[in-house]
Chain A
Amino acid sequence: MLTDSQIQQLELKANEIRQDIIKMLLAAGSGHSAGPLGMADVFAALYFGGVLNYDAKDPWKEDRDRVILSNGHICPVWYPTLAHAGFFPREELMTLRKLNSRLQGHPHFRELPGVENTGGPLGQGLSQAIGHALAVRMDVAAGELPVGERMPWVYCFMSDAELQEGQNWEGIMFAGKNNLHNLTAVIDRNNIQIDGFTEDVMPIEPLADKFKAFNWSIIEVDGHNVREIVDAFNKAMAIFENPTVIIAHTIPGKGVDFMDWKYEWHGKPPNKDEGEKALAELRTLQGKILSEHQ
C-alpha cells in the first residue's frame, strides 16, 4: 500500500514527465502530443511505483522485467520516463527526432538502454512481448534464469485503436491458449485516433468482453489515479491462471487543458506559444500537487 507521500511523489514525477514531453516536442517540431501526455501517470506508476524490476546501470540484466511499447508513437512519454529512471542523461531528450539521435521518432530496438523493441507500425508489439514471455518461461523451467520472488514480467503497452490491427488478435489468441500469466498488456483506452473517436472510426467495444472470451483476466483502471494503477499492476502479478490486460481509461492530452479530449492533438506538437502555455499550466498543476498533499 502506497503512502500519501509516495502518491505525491508519483504525481510529481508524472508532472515532470509531462513537462519534458512538451519541451521535447517543442524542440523536435514534430511528434505526438495527446497520447504521451495521457499515459504519463501510468508510466510513472510502472517505473517509480515499485512495480518494475529494472537496473538502469545494468539495463539488460537477465532477470529484468521487460517493457515493450507497441504503439511506438507515444515514445515521447517513454523516453523521459527512462531518462528520469537513470537509463540515459535527461539532456539527451532534446535530441528527439534529430539526425543521429538515439531518440528515434519511433523507438528502435536497443538503440537506447531500456528500449526492448522496435515499435511504430501498429499491432506488432504484443507478439514480440509474447516471445519474451515464452523465453522467460523456458529459461525459468530450465533453471537458467535466476529468479527471486517472482518470474520476470513482460509488460506490453498498446493503444486502443491499434486493436483494429488483426495481428493483435492472433497474439491475444496465442497468449490465451498458452496461459502466459507473466504477460501484462496495458491498453491506453483514450478513445481517440487520427481520424476521430475510436467508436466512430472502427468500434473496439465491448473490449473487456473480447479479452475475456480469449481467456485473459481483465482489470480496468482510472489511468490518472496512480494508486489504482499501481494496485492493478500488483494484482496482475498475482494472477497465475492467464495473461492480464489492464485497460487504462485515460484522457488524451491530460494535464494541458487545451489539448485534452481533442483528437486533433493526436499527431501534432505544440507551437512555441502553445508550448509555453502548456508548460505554464503544468507548472500550476505541479504547485497544486505540492500543496494538496501538505
Chain B
Amino acid sequence: MTNFLNPQIFDQDVETKPTRHGYGEGLLELGEKNLNVVVLTGDLAESTRVLEFGKKYPERFFECGVAEQNMTGIAAGLAAAGKIPFISSYAVFSPGRAWDQVRVSVCYSNLNVKIAGAHTGVSVGPDGATHQALEDIAITRVLPNMTVVVPCDAIETKKLTLAAVERPGPVYFRFAREKTPIITTVETPFEMGKAEIFWDSNKESGITNNVAIVACGPLVFQSLVATRELHEEGIGVVVVNNHTVKPMDVGTIMKVARDCGAIVTVEEHQIMGGMGSAVAEVLAQNYPVPVEFVGMPNTFGQSGQPGELLEKYGMSVKAIKEAVKRVMARKNK
C-alpha cells in the first residue's frame, strides 16, 4: 500500500462517509473562492449535499424542481454567460434523463457545466434498479468534450469538486449513496487525468507483480482488500486508482500492462461501455494483454443491502480475487 493512503484503511472500524459529502464540502469552499460558481438542483438539495451552499449563497443557488432537462439547459445558458454551474441530481436523472440536453446544449457547445450524478451503482441498495445508475459512465464518456471522473471516497470527491472549476468544459462525476471507507488522505495526490498507483506488491515486498487491478470509485477499497489477501497468497498485484475515465491516463495504463501482463478492471457500472471498456480500448490499440472485467454483467439490479448486491452481481472482494486468478490463468496459456 502506498504510504499516502489512510493508515487505518484495513482496520475493522475504518472511517466511512458517503462520497457525495465531499461534494457539499467542496462546493462550500468554492462558493467563497469563486463568485462565478452557481449551484442548481432538481428537488434533491439535501441528498446531493448542496443544501448548505444554497443557505450560504442563496443568490447563486437555483432550485429547479423535478425537471432535469430544464435544469441542464439553464446550466448551459448560465455557462454561456460566464458562470460555472454545478448541476446536482441522481445520475439516473442527470445525465440519464437529460442526456439529449447534455449532448446538444452542453457538450456540443463545449460549455463549462459540471454535472454531479449521485446514487450510482447497485450499492444504492433498497431503492432498487430504477435508482441504481449503472450506465452513466457509458453515456457520458461517449460525448465529445466531456471529462468523466469517478472519485473513490469523500476526500477525493472534495478535491475533484475543487479541481473541476479549473478544468474548462463539461465535467461529469458520479457519487455513491452509501457510506464507504475513507481510502485517501488530504495528502494523497489528485490530478484529473492522472491515475495513481495505490498498491504495488513488488515495492511492498519484492515479489513479482502478476496482475494490475484498475479500479475506480468506492470499489477501489474492495480492490485493495482483495489485493492484500492475494499478496499474502504470494500473488503480486498493482492497484491503480483510475478515477479519470476520460481522458484516460494512457501512460499509467500502458505501464502497468507492460509490468504485469494482465489486467482486471473493477467498477460499479455496466461492464459494457464503462471504465473497463475504456481501458480495453486503450490496451487493444497499444498493448493487448488479457483483461477480466468486474462490473455489472448486462443486467438490472434489484432491492437489497449494498453488500448483498455487490456479492450477488459479482463485485465483491471474493469476485475481484477470482477475476485476478482467472486472468492469471489466461496469461500463462
Given contacts A124-B101, A138-B59, contact A116 B70 (CB under 8 A): no
Which of B82, B104, B105, B111 meets A135, CB within 8 Å?
B82
B108 touches A109 (CB 8 A): yes
Interface string of A87-127 (1 = CB under 8 A from B): 00000000000000000000011100000111011011111
A134 touches B80 (CB 8 A): no
Docked Cα-Cα span, A110 to B77, in Å, equals 13
Q: How far is the CB of B195 from chain A (nearest CB, A)?
A: 32
Whether B83 sits at the interface, judged by CB under 8 Å, is yes
Which of A118, A131, A170 meets B67, CB within 8 Å?
A170
Docked Cα-Cα span, A265 to B287, in Å, equals 54
Docked Cα-Cα span, A68 to B81, in Å, equals 12
Which B residues are CB-close (under 8 A) to A136? 81
B81 touches A132 (CB 8 A): yes
Docked Cα-Cα span, A125 to B73, in Å, equals 8
Which A residues are CB-close (under 8 A) to B52? none
Whether B60 sits at the interface, judged by CB under 8 Å, is yes
Which of A108, A110, A127, A133 meets B70, CB within 8 Å?
A127
Number of cross-chain contacts by CB at 8 Å: 107
Docked Cα-Cα span, A275 to B78, in Å, equals 41
Which of B60, B67, B76, B100 meets A138, CB within 8 Å?
B60
B101 touches A127 (CB 8 A): yes
Which A residues are CB-close (under 8 A) to B71? 127
B73 touches A124 (CB 8 A): yes
Whether A167 sits at the interface, judged by CB under 8 Å, is yes
Q: How large is the interface on A (under 10, 10 to 19, 20 to 34, 35 or more residues)?
A: 20 to 34
Given contacts A127-B70, A142-B35, A174-B70, contact A121 B81 (CB under 8 A): no
Whether B109 sits at the interface, judged by CB under 8 Å, is yes
Given contacts A109-B111, A138-B59, A174-B65, contact A131 B77 (CB under 8 A): yes
B interface residues, tally (CB under 8 Å): 32
Chain A residue with Cβ nearest B70: A170
Whether B64 sits at the interface, judged by CB under 8 Å, is yes
Q: How far is the CB of A162 from chain B (nearest CB, A)?
A: 13
Taking CB atoms and an 8 Å cut-off, the chain B residues in 87-143 that contact chain A are 100-101, 104-105, 108-111
Which B residues are CB-close (under 8 A) to A126? 73
Interface string of A166-177 (1 = CB under 8 A from B): 110011011000
Q: How far is the CB of B146 from chain A (nearest CB, A)?
A: 15
B74 touches A174 (CB 8 A): yes
Chain A residue with Cβ nearest B104: A121
B-side interface residues toward A, CB under 8 Å?
35, 38, 59-60, 62, 64-65, 67, 69-83, 85, 100-101, 104-105, 108-111
Closest CB pairs A-B (n = 4): A131-B77, A127-B73, A135-B81, A170-B70
A-side interface residues toward B, CB under 8 Å?
66, 68, 108-110, 116-118, 120-121, 123-136, 138-139, 141-142, 166-167, 170-171, 173-174
Taking A120-B104, A127-B74, A128-B77 as given, write out 4 further A-B residue pairs in contact, using a Cβ cutoff of 8 Å, ordered by the A residue number: A117-B76, A121-B100, A131-B83, A174-B65
